[in-house]
Amino acid sequence: MKFRGKIIDVACLNHFTRVITTISKLTKMCVLRLTPDNLFFVLSGKVANGGVSMWCELSQANFFDEYQMEGVSSEDNEICLEVTPENLSRALKTVQNAKAVKVKLTKKHCPCLTIAAELPTLSSASRVVTHDVPVDVIPRRLWHEFKEPNMPDFDVSIYLPPLKTMKNIVDRMKNLSNFLVIEANLNGEMNLKIETDLVSVTTHFKDLGNPPWGDDASQDGGASQSRDPEAMVEARVDIRRLQQFLMGQQVNPSKAMCNIVHQRVVHLILLHEDVSLQYFIPAVA
Amino acid sequence: MDCVVTGGNVKVLAKAIHSLSRIGDELYVEPQEDALALRSVNSSRSAYACFLFAPLFFSRYTIPSGHAFRCKMAIKSVQAVFRSLASLEKTVEKCHIELDKQKSRLTFTLHCKHGLLKTHNLSFQDSESLQAVFDKDSCANVFRAQPRLLVDTVVHFPPSLEEVTVAVSDERMWVRNHVDEEAEQSKAMLTELCLASDEFDHFAVGAHNSVTFCLKELRGLLVFAESTGLPISMYFDEPGSPVVLSVTDSVLEGDFVLATLSDDPNHRKNNSRRAHTPPPPPPDDFMNDDIDAYLIAMDTSIAPGPSATGPPTPSLARSTFSKQPAAANHKTRIHSEEEEEEEEEDEKADLDRPPNKKFCSLFFGSVLPPSSQMSTQPVTSQEVLASDSEDDT
């Protein structure tokens, strides 16, 4: 297994840092899968992390000026690592003004992702900082746990309102309740609701639009088409999970969408150029 | 005692007090003939700082005649006088420090714009003179750098990090985070920064040593040095003997003396002073490394990477930096009679000390010095060895 990547462009470095910082706010640990074309940050929905799962896909060419990798074998040309995104984020944040940043897989006292940056100085020699972030190499037999999740067979898909607005609302609702109901219909309307013994609060959004999913979307076309556009589908979720998602995100997505499977799961998607971040929050009864 | 500080010097004084507050809870004030000394020490006596302000720093400087006055006071209350540094600069024109003998109060009066007067009457306790014994001029390694360089260095380390290790070769300085427990080592992120000698104003290496000390106090000094723009000098010798960081200008001098982790005891036995040279990390490979060098073989073989020089002193146990009760350290101490002798001890005794101490203590004079003793490096004959774990005051 070999991996080495180099980022020179400041904008790329900044963007890469923001993506990783976003991920670090969503989860303490996740799996980084490296393939010849892509980097994936994966969190598979386990009970220990509240059943949420995450899938973040980056195209390497969009970030790295140089990118070399050699996987476990030629037929399994991938590397699968368990990483602490917080550490990566911290390392990257301190090297924002670097002339060049290298990310490489190294064998130090343990396997590490080493982030080495060449920092500008006034003197002739450059200043070099290296951060060795310990990682666990995930054996081949466990890889199946970190495959791309299937697009759920959603009942309603809707564009999200500005995430900042949503965040402000959810932050306030958080003070009143631990659970929040997201409901939406095919008429571009979405409601965020909390209901407690003392108070019920609902925020209504309208004219959000429903993304046109092509035939290749996993939904069988008929189900949502034949649905009454006014009929709401809903999912009740742990408000902290949603808040975490809204709070940490620094991707500034060009598109933000939400798919709801009635009383099953909320599937949030952020798209920004070549980055896609999917986040699944299971519904609770 | 009657001192007046005016203009920008008020802020300098305020910054000095703020950086002293990073060290300990008490401020020791000692007006001396040639300077006003402000000092602080931490509870485990492993860090000490001293600022000396020359009479020229003040627009008026008179000290009590006759007997020597010295006191200590809660540093928090002094900090409160200079609480808002930003507004201090804009509004305070003059600061008057006066001793009110009758009420036993030290009075700080801030003369602000528009004739506003803020008066703080602070109580104090009499104290002995606080004086660390160190000799920076005999240190083998001496560096001087602009504060910016060190600020840019420490920014790479998380605020929670307690200790850093500084290693030097003839051409370079490496600063890395210190991870002390072996168990943590496999999970801890290691950060290493390499600085070339020409980034320093002065770079003189006499011994290829590495020392480990607390970052918190260094950060404290940086606050001061950055605001005053004064270059920082760093002096150190070998593991276990203190590192001294100092700033100097024509009217003031600041010295921060920090204990360093003592070396691996086994290593230490045959450690004849200069013979101990840890292998310097190989030169930087940043631009011309070969990907094969980073090959990860998932067997047990270890690929020789740069800075594979290994974890810093894994055999060291936890630092004793004010975290453990004093007695816990001395369970295995056999030289109980040593305490009596310590008054007479000179530096050689240092080598005979039990190896179970982690942070070597500083030498302290906690006896009353003759009033002539003003230097920061006083003669050692009257000094008491106060170890980090023998804080019995």
User: DSSP readout, B174-189?
Assistant: EEEE----HHHHTTS-
* Mean of pLDDT values over A241-255: 85
DSSP state of B124: -
| Cα(B362)–Cα(B168) distance, integer angstroms | 23
On whether the CB atoms of residues A245 and A279 are closer than 8 A, the answer is yes
**Chain B residues 207-246 within an 8 A CB cutoff of chain A:** none
Size of the A and B interface in Cβ pairs below 8 Å = 101
Q: What proportion of chain A, given as a percentage, has pLDDT over 70?
A: 94
Subunit contact A128:B305, Cβ cutoff 8 A: no
Angle CA B292–B294–B296, to nearest 5: 105
User: Residue B186: which of A90, A122, A134 has the nearest Cβ?
Assistant: A134
CB count within 10 Å of CB B262 equals 25
Subunit contact B286:A104, Cβ cutoff 8 A: no
Closest among B79, B28, B76 to B52, alpha carbons compared: B28
Q: Residue B303's pLDDT is what? A: 37
User: Residue B305: which of A94, A108, A123 has the nearest Cβ?
Assistant: A108
Residue showing tokens 């897989």: A105
Higher pLDDT, B368 or A168: A168
Subunit contact B196:A125, Cβ cutoff 8 A: yes
CB count within 10 Å of CB B31 equals 23
Q: Quickly count helices (H) and strands (E) in chain B.
A: 9, 22
Beta bridge partners of residue A102, listed in sequence order: A6, A116
Tell me how far apart the terminal alpha carbons of chain A are, to the nearest angstrom: 45
Measured in angstroms, the CA of A189 and the nearest CA of chain B are apart by 44
Alpha helices in B231-323 (DSSP H): 265-269
Whole-number Cα distances in Å, A73 to A140, A142, B145, B283:
10, 15, 50, 33
Measured in angstroms, the CA of B212 and the nearest CA of chain A are apart by 18
| Cα(A25)–Cα(B288) distance, integer angstroms | 35
Query: Residues near B370 by Cβ (< 8 Å), separated by ≥ 6?
Result: none
SS (HEC) of chain B:
CEEEEECHHHHHHHHHHHHHHCCCCEEEEEECCCCEEEEEECCCCCEEEEEEECHHHCCEEECCCCCCCCEEEEHHHHHHHCCCHHHHHHHEEEEEEEEECCCCEEEEEEEEHHHCEEEEEEECEECCCCEEECCHHHCCEEEEECHHHHHHHHCCCCCCCCEEEEEECCCEEEEEECCCCHHHHCCCCEEEEEEEHHHCCEEECCCCCEEEEEHHHHHHHHHHHHHHCCCEEEEECCCCCCEEEEEECCCEEEEEEECCECCCHHHHHCCCCCCCCCCCCCCCCCCCCCHHHHCCCCCCCCCCCCCCCCCCCCCCCCCCCCCCCHHHHHCCCCCCCHHHHHHHCCCCHHHHCCCCCCECCCEEECCCCCCCCCCCCCCHHHCEECCCCCCCC
Subunit contact A118:B294, Cβ cutoff 8 A: no
Q: What pLDDT digit, counting tens, does each position of B189-226 carry? A: 899 999 999 899 999 999 998 999 999 999 999 999 99
| Coil vs helix vs strand at A54 | strand
Q: Residue B372's pLDDT is what? A: 40
Average of per-residue pLDDT values in chain A: 88
* Mean of pLDDT values over A26-45: 91
Q: Residue A127's pLDDT is what? A: 87
Q: Residue B240's pLDDT is what? A: 87
Whole-number Cα distances in Å, B59 to B7, B16, B30, B134:
10, 18, 18, 31
In chain B, what residues touch A111 (CB-CB under 8 Å)?
296
Domain architecture of chain B: domains with CATH: 2-126 (3.70.10.10), 136-258 (3.70.10.10), 265-391 (no CATH)
Question: What ipTM was assigned to the predicted interfaces of this complex?
Answer: 0.80
| Cα(A63)–Cα(B366) distance, integer angstroms | 60
Residue showing tokens 């101990």: B276
Which parts of chain B sit beneath pLDDT 50? 265-357, 360, 363, 365-393
On the question of pLDDT at A31 being above 50, the answer is: yes
Tell me how far apart the terminal alpha carbons of chain B are, to the nearest angstrom: 26
At residue A35 the predicted structure's pLDDT band, cuts being 50, 70 and 90, is: very high
* Mean of pLDDT values over A140-169: 88
Closest among B205, B221, B218 to B253, alpha carbons compared: B221
| CA A181 from centre of chain | 22
| CA A65 from centre of chain | 23
- Interface residue A124 vs chain B (CB under 8 A): yes
Closest among B25, B4, B18, B358 to B222, alpha carbons compared: B18
Q: Residue B205's pLDDT is what? A: 93
Closest among A17, A60, A110, A130 to B286, alpha carbons compared: A130
User: Residue A128: which of B158, B284, B308 has the nearest Cβ?
Assistant: B284
Measured in angstroms, the CA of B227 and the nearest CA of chain A are apart by 21
Q: What pLDDT digit, counting tens, does each position of A60-102 carry? A: 999 999 999 998 888 889 999 999 999 999 999 989 989 999 9
Q: Residue B264's pLDDT is what? A: 54
DSSP state of A256: E
Q: What pLDDT digit, counting tens, does each position of B247-289 carry? A: 999 999 999 999 998 865 444 333 333 333 444 444 444 444 4
Beta bridge partners of residue B107, listed in sequence order: B98, B121
Chain A nearest-CA residue for B155: A94
On whether the CB atoms of residues B244 and B47 are closer than 8 A, the answer is no
Residue showing tokens 């055999």: B315
Q: What pLDDT digit, counting tens, does each position of A5-26 carry? A: 999 999 999 999 999 999 999 8
| Cα(B81)–Cα(B238) distance, integer angstroms | 39
| Cα(A28)–Cα(A244) distance, integer angstroms | 12
Subunit contact A111:B189, Cβ cutoff 8 A: no
Q: Residue B362's pLDDT is what? A: 55
- Lookup: tokens for A173: 């609702």
User: Residue A4: which of B158, B291, B307 has the nearest Cβ?
Assistant: B291
Domain architecture of chain A: domains with CATH: 2-146 (3.70.10.10), 156-258 (3.70.10.10)
- Interface residue A8 vs chain B (CB under 8 A): no
